[in-house]
Homo-oligomer: A and B are copies of this chain.
Amino acid sequence: MPPRTDAPEFHCETLAIVGVGLMGAAIAREARRQGAAAHIVGLGRDPARLAAARHSGVIDEALTSPEGLRNVGLAVICTPVDRIEADVRSLLVSGGGPRLITDAGSVKAAITRNLRDVPRFVGAHPLAGSEKRGHEHAHEVQLQDRVCVVTPEESTPSDMVDEIRAFWTALGMRVLVMPADDHDAILARTSHLPHLAAYALASLLEGNDIPFAATGFRDSTRIAASDPKLWSSILMLNRDAVRSALAAYRRTLDAADALLQSGGERELTALLAEAQQARLRLEPPAKPGVASGPR
Which of A50-58, A66-74, A274-282 contacts its partner? A274-282
- What bracket does the count of chain A residues touching chain B fall in? 35 or more
In the complex, whether A209 has a CB less than 8 A from a CB of chain B is yes
A248 — which chain B residues lie within 8 A by C-beta? 204
In the complex, whether A63 has a CB less than 8 A from a CB of chain B is no
Q: Provide the bound-state CA to CA distance between A248 and B217, in Å.
A: 17
| A residues at B contact (CB < 8 Å) | 127-129, 146-147, 149, 174, 176, 186-187, 189-191, 193-206, 208-229, 231-233, 235-236, 239, 242-243, 245-246, 248-250, 252-253, 256-257, 260-261, 263, 265, 268-276, 278-283, 285-286, 293
A276 near B202: Cβ-Cβ < 8 Å? yes
A281 — which chain B residues lie within 8 A by C-beta? 205, 210
A217 near B203: Cβ-Cβ < 8 Å? no
Q: Provide the bound-state CA to CA distance between A286 and B210, in Å.
A: 9
B204 near A193: Cβ-Cβ < 8 Å? yes
Q: Would you give the shortest CB distance from A254 to chain B, in whole angstroms?
A: 8
Q: When A190-B205, A272-B228, A275-B224 are in contact, do A282 and B218 touch as well, CB less than 8 Å?
A: yes
A269 near B128: Cβ-Cβ < 8 Å? no
A201 near B197: Cβ-Cβ < 8 Å? yes
Q: Would you give the shortest CB distance from A273 to chain B, in whole angstroms?
A: 4
A272 near B197: Cβ-Cβ < 8 Å? no
A219 near B216: Cβ-Cβ < 8 Å? no
A253 — which chain B residues lie within 8 A by C-beta? 196-197, 200, 246, 249-250
A127 near B218: Cβ-Cβ < 8 Å? no
Beyond A219-B220, A220-B221, A226-B276, 4 additional contacts (C-beta under 8 Å) are A147-B212, A186-B206, A218-B282, A225-B276
- The winner among A191, A242, A263 for most chain B CB atoms within 10 A is A191
